[in-house]
Amino acid sequence: MDKLIIQGGATLNGEIWISGAKNSALPILAATLLCDEPVTISNLPHLHDITTMIELLGCMGAQVVIDEKLSIEVNASSLTSCVAPYKLVKTMRASILVLGPLLAHYGETRVSFPGGCAIGSRPVDLHLRALEAMGAEITIEEGYIHAKSNGRLKGAHVVFDVVTVGGTENAVMAATLADGVTILENAAREPEIVDLCRCLVAMGAEIEGIGTNRLVITGKEKLHGTEYAVMPDRIETGTYLTAVAATSGKVKLKNTDPSSLEAVLSKLQEAGADISLGEDWITLDMKGKRPKAVNVKTAPYPAFPTDMQAQFTALNSIAEGTSTVIETIFENRLIQAHEMNRMGAQIQLEGNAAVITGVEALKSAPVMATDLRASASLVIAALVAEGETVIDRIYHIDRGYECIEEKLQLLGANIRRVPD
């Protein structure tokens, strides 16, 4: 297993490019299963999760052609199987996103039941309930979700109990091919869902209310091929901004989308950052100052994203003052605080809240990444720690951050990867 070795203390400064959004690329890749024509997707990030989704499409018989810039053309007309096997689903929960498209297009599918993960139990009951409302018959057999429809799915009125990103994505994809109108209430409205909906519209789908929590989808008999560029990754953007803020540095991020980051940018300003925005760039300048502690509470978009919580916990651990970070989406997502405390942070966990007393400096220690965003927070902690920190189990970070050490090196960080 690779490790990252980071010598802390450098003030980050420079310019980097932001990659395409993982969480938008994954459902868009799944959406290629909705039609029998080639769909070409560009601005895909070069990440393990994307490779896993491409492998999943390929193992079901889709023809996948990748060019040198990682634009890919998927042609699902050659599909030979509608089974998403355990060996791939177990490595990536987002494989569940093929359930809605396969069921809607082919009338039957078996998708391995995804398990829990480090950040919580993560059920898929709401995905299944939405598909059942559209007429699917669903049974669980030998660890697989077996979903069947008699003919086309039917338009339905679905009210989600909880705001679910993946559940909304599966339902909206299935509804594009259903017979009649589907109304999804209390739908998630994360920017990645807007991106997915725009791609579906480019494939011929009819969707109203894009960007709101009420989506109205008029099903079509078929969708067609298209070309689509994935949006920039707002979580990658937020992670680099937070890393630079923690080191009191200055950065320009290019090829990003400031409009999808309002909650995060306003918290960074509260922490003392000077921020300027253009249409596709953001600059952040701490003017050499230590960040101020900021309170954070995660909630569905447009509130503060759970995927930025760990990075802000790291920022607050070296900030001036005391803060509270409340996690409302996943039950076990403050877990990285224990590793940060091993580096001298003063974080007390009380249920779903972390009370953080900022310290002037963290100290290096061997630490271990437990999930994707927790890994990013340990990288931030290591960047500001005194001494050399070794971060183990770094494979998590490769699921969500393209070329992380190269990008941080460009900003002046002293970071290297060593194979085990």
User: In terms of Cα–Cα distance, which of 374, 372, 371, 325 is closest to 347?
Assistant: 325
Interface with ligand UD1 by CB under 6 A: which range of 164-172, 204-212, 217-225, 377-385?
164-172
From the CB of 229, what's the least distance to ligand UD1, in Å? 18
Give just the sign of the alpha carbon dihedral 348, 268, 409, 192.
positive
From 12, 26, 44, 199, residue interacting with ligand UD1 (rule: CB under 6 A)? 26
From the CB of 308, what's the least distance to ligand UD1, in Å? 10
Q: Can residue 306 be called a binding residue for ligand UD1 (CB under 6 A)?
A: yes
Whether residue 35 lies in the annotated active site: no
User: In terms of Cα–Cα distance, which of 186, 180, 216, 184 is closest to 201?
Assistant: 216
From the CB of 164, what's the least distance to ligand UD1, in Å? 3
Q: Can residue 280 be called a binding residue for ligand UD1 (CB under 6 A)?
A: no
> SS3 of 206, please?
strand
Spatial separation of the C-alpha atoms in residues 313 and 325, rounded to whole Å: 7
From 19, 32, 109, 164, residue interacting with ligand UD1 (rule: CB under 6 A)? 164
- Cβ-contact 84, 55 below 8 angstroms: no
Interface with ligand UD1 by CB under 6 A: which range of 105-113, 123-131, 251-259, 388-396?
123-131
Residue environment code for 3-27, b if the CB has 16+ CB neighbours within 10 A, otherwise e: bbbbbbebbbbbebebbbbbbbbbb
Count how many residues are written for the chain: 420
Spatial separation of the C-alpha atoms in residues 134 and 96, rounded to whole Å: 17
Residue with smaller CB distance to ligand UD1, 93 or 417: 93
From the CB of 281, what's the least distance to ligand UD1, in Å? 24
Residue with smaller CB distance to ligand UD1, 20 or 167: 167
- Cβ-contact 326, 356 below 8 angstroms: no
Residue with smaller CB distance to ligand UD1, 330 or 401: 330
- The residue type of 221 is E
How many chain residues bind ligand UD1 (CB under 6 A)? 21
One of 35, 82, 117, 197 is an active-site residue; which one? 117
Q: Can residue 152 be called a binding residue for ligand UD1 (CB under 6 A)?
A: no
From 123, 209, 302, 412, residue interacting with ligand UD1 (rule: CB under 6 A)? 123
∠ at Cα 230 (225, 234), nearest 5°?
155
From the CB of 204, what's the least distance to ligand UD1, in Å? 24
Spatial separation of the C-alpha atoms in residues 398 and 47, rounded to whole Å: 6
CA 194 from chain centre, in angstroms, equals 14
Letters for 171-210 (x = contact with ligand UD1 by CB under 6 A, - = none) are: -----------------x---x------------------
Spatial separation of the C-alpha atoms in residues 358 and 322, rounded to whole Å: 6
From 140, 162, 361, 418, residue interacting with ligand UD1 (rule: CB under 6 A)? 162
User: In terms of Cα–Cα distance, which of 126, 91, 119, 160 is closest to 306?
Assistant: 119
Q: Can residue 94 be called a binding residue for ligand UD1 (CB under 6 A)?
A: yes
From 20, 166, 191, 238, residue interacting with ligand UD1 (rule: CB under 6 A)? 166
Q: Can residue 254 be called a binding residue for ligand UD1 (CB under 6 A)?
A: no
Q: Can residue 307 be called a binding residue for ligand UD1 (CB under 6 A)?
A: yes
Spatial separation of the C-alpha atoms in residues 400 and 117, rounded to whole Å: 16
Q: Can residue 231 be called a binding residue for ligand UD1 (CB under 6 A)?
A: no
How many other CB atoms sit within 10 Å of the CB of residue 105?
Answer: 23
CA 391 from chain centre, in angstroms, equals 21
Residue with smaller CB distance to ligand UD1, 70 or 193: 193
Q: Can residue 126 be called a binding residue for ligand UD1 (CB under 6 A)?
A: yes
List binders of ligand UD1 among 324-383 (CB under 6 A): 329-330
How many other CB atoms sit within 10 Å of the CB of residue 231?
Answer: 24
**What is the set of active-site residues?**
117
Using CB under 6 A as the criterion, which residues of the chain lie in contact with ligand UD1 when the complex forms? 23, 26, 94, 120, 122-127, 162, 164-167, 188, 192, 306-307, 329-330
